Amino acid sequence: MQSSDYWKAVLVDRENFLERILKFLRTSGVRYCIVGGTGVNAYTYPVVTEDLDIAVAAAEINTLQAALGREFKVRRFAHSINVSAPESKLQVQIQTDPRYFDFVERAEIRDVMDFQLPVAQLEDLLKGKIWAFSDTTRRKSKRQKDLADIARIIEVAPELREQLPDELLSKLV
């Protein structure tokens, strides 16, 4: 079984939402990269997740939201555009926080569940995870997952440990 088949089985993706959203991004010409836990998976041992976090170039957000709405269910939140399909548990979350915009320019092609996709650099993924963990308005369970992702990053790139704030360092085992 390939990684993508496993991921699709976990996501109960009955309508090929994963392939459809990736094709949409590829054919639309939108400049994007994978961030979040799925991005971390591209550099470390993978863990199961039901979401796909994406950062896009700043200029493309509004155009992208309108185009996505023609094919998928789209909901706008304070810092993201969430895209879903009825027959899939996969949640695509497009970051609208401007801190992520520059990640796209530095992204590199990596293997993500058998797909060759642009992924934010490891240093950028660490920044994003630090921001997410530091956001006290997020659910505690989400922040714990962010902390685990930070630990996974530090395991494969110990030199990045010096970029962690002291408060966060004390929480790592």
Q: What is the mean pLDDT of residues 105-112?
A: 97
- The domain made up of 3-169 has a fold known as Beta Polymerase; domain 2 (3.30.460)
Neighbours of 156 (CB within 10 A): 12
CB contact at 8 A, 128 and 40: no
Query: What pLDDT does 58 receive?
Result: 85
- Which tens digit of pLDDT belongs to each residue from 27-53? 998 999 999 999 999 999 999 888 999
Q: Tokens 């555009």 label which residue?
A: 81
Rg of the chain over Cα atoms, rounded to whole angstroms, equals: 16
Residue 119 has pLDDT above 70, yes or no: yes
Mean pLDDT over all residues of the chain?
92
Token pair listed for 161? 């440990």
Residue 7 has pLDDT above 80, yes or no: no
The C-alpha atoms of residue 125 and residue 116 are separated, in whole angstroms, by: 17
Contacts of 154 (CB under 8 A, 6+ apart): 160, 161, 164, 172
pLDDT band at 1 (very low <50, low <70, confident <90, very high): low
Residue 117 φ/ψ region, left for φ over 0, alpha for ψ in the -120 to 50 degree band, beta for the rest: beta
Residue 100 has pLDDT above 80, yes or no: yes
Higher pLDDT, 126 or 7: 126
